[in-house]
Amino acid sequence: DGGITQSPKYLFRKEGQNVTLSCEQNLNHDAMYWYRQDPGQGLRLIYYSQIVNDFQKGDIAEGYSVSREKKESFPLTVTSAQKNPTAFYLCASSVAGTVHADTQYFGPGTRLTVL
């Protein structure tokens, strides 16, 4: 069953703690993305990676970090420097270098709540 998995579905964090959100895909996609979704705000790009061991900042990268050590995995760390981390986090992936490179497929999301 191919797709994108995100874990955990719900995550609670105390202020001042770092927390890592998992994203795994078995679609053999080269590109992966992290978005943040807040009510009434649409999706905003945090980081994206087009190839293993390389990634670029999106529009709201401050307070977040990522790694891309394997093609199928793109974990996101929400650091204590992120001032308002409570949000719904979405991971996506796409092929690269073909006519279908425009289509992004999304995972089910992780809802992070800071207590």
Using CA atoms, how far apart are residues 79 and 36, in angstroms rounded to an integer? 14
Q: Which of 1, 2, 14, 97 binds another protein (CB under 8 A)?
A: 97
Considering only residues 24 to 53 of the shown chain, the ones binding another protein according to CB under 8 A are 30-31, 35, 40-45, 48, 50-51
Using CA atoms, how far apart are residues 36 and 50, in angstroms rounded to an integer? 19
| Residue 6: CB minimum distance to another protein, A | 8
Antiparallel, parallel or unpaired: β 31-37 and 87-94: antiparallel
Considering beta carbons, is residue 73 or 80 the nearer one to another protein? 73
SS3 of residue 42 by DSSP: coil
Q: Which of 60, 72, 77, 109 binds another protein (CB under 8 A)?
A: 109
- Least Cα distance to 22 among 115, 107, 113, 114 occurs for 107
DSSP state, residue 73:
B
Taking a C-beta distance cutoff of 8 angstroms, is the pair 96, 30 a contact?
yes
Considering beta carbons, is residue 80 or 104 the nearer one to another protein? 104
Considering beta carbons, is residue 80 or 86 the nearer one to another protein? 86
**Residues found near another protein in the complex (CB under 8 A):** 4, 6, 30-31, 35, 40-45, 48, 50-51, 56, 58, 90, 92, 94, 96-98, 101-109, 111
